Amino acid sequence: MGRHCINKLFWVVTVACLLVGIYLLQSKVPSVLQPLLLSQPPYQTPPPPRQPPAPPRPSSSLEASSQVAHSSDNTKRLLCHWFTARLGNELFQFASTLGLALTLNRTPVFFGSHHLPNVLKTFNQISANSSTFVNRCQKAATVREVSFCKFDDKFTHLYPGHDFTIGTYLVSYKYFEHHELEIRKALTFTDKIRNESSHVVHVLRQKHNTSTLIGVHVRRGDMTSERNIKLGYPQVSPDYLNRSMAFFRSRYPDCVFVVGSNSLQWCKDNVPGGYHVHYLTGHSPAVDMSILSSMDHTIITFWSFSWWVGFLNPGTTVYMKDFIINGTSIGDQFNPGGRDFIYPGWIPL
């Protein structure tokens, strides 16, 4: 019994001491803090911080390139190009520079075009022409191709910390083959060109509504000068026209050949007899290109204008198999067989 009383007394004294301690503690805390000590709610995990809404994602890398070209962000590195030569060459320079800019995540900047602002609907949207970019491009290091019809791999390994100007002709589909959908979208003709060419195509299809339409482009003109022959520019022969037209007639007996050329009289004198032929006259080169690329299939001859007719056409394309003349200045610009120039799937004849 005595031990039980002692234990009971011990717990009474302990509880009393605790109550006295709490009273003394509260009496030393400023009154303004006492409510906080007495009424703290149970701890709750704070809500996560609100994230800012993500910016809208461009529907394609082409649109992203266009947006960057017009943005005020001057920190992104530039890929600059000054145009040279005529329409077909300018299209290669535009497509290749744009393709490399997309690959390298750079802003494409273009100067000096004599054709594309009035030919391509997207050109002014994609090109960046602010004075800031002009100044930067003038200070940029310049890198040029070794051969203008061979793919030059060094353009894909430019130092990422510098702006660059690239040149000169860039005549190879390999510069933009990894962005072909974007490039095709960028190569949209203006409404004026499309309306004129669509009217011609509509009339042709109404007149020959059961026929297969074959576009034919013949490049001669300046290519036939003595100087250009010595340089190694190939010459279109009547034999090639005969082979290529016979190739398509064997596949499509009811076919009409729609011919565009800078030497129409030569074509009229040398196109084989027995074919149904329509000659394009009175149009600009860009309209001719749009018409020919809208045909069912194409026959092309040589150089950049013909190349784009074949590339933009959805059907079968045949080309001159002997367009490279070895041992000449022009012939040396190509790989064997022109593998960096000829688009995959085209048929040599």
Domains of the chain: 61-186 (no CATH), 191-348 (3.40.50)
3-class SS of residue 131 = helix
User: What percentage of the chain exceeds 90 in pLDDT?
Assistant: 73
Highest mean pLDDT among 16-25, 67-76, 241-250: 241-250
CA atoms within 13 A on the CB side of 9: 6
- Reduced to 3 states (helix: H, G, I; strand: E, B; else coil), residue 111 is strand
Stronger pLDDT, 311 or 148, i.e. the higher one: 311
- Which of 157, 224, 194 shows the shortest CA–CA distance to 289? 194
Helices (H), ranges, 252-303: 264-270, 285-293
Q: What is the pLDDT of residues 91-104, one digit of tens each?
A: 999 999 999 999 99
Least confident of 14-18, 43-47, 113-117, 277-281: 43-47
Q: Evaluate if residue 47 carries a pLDDT over 70.
A: no
39 pLDDT more than 70: no
Angle separating helix axes 191-207 and 285-293, nearest 10 degrees: 50
Predicted TM-score of the model (pTM): 0.80
Predicted local confidence at residue 7, as pLDDT? 52
Is residue 236 within 8 Å of 220, Cβ to Cβ?
yes
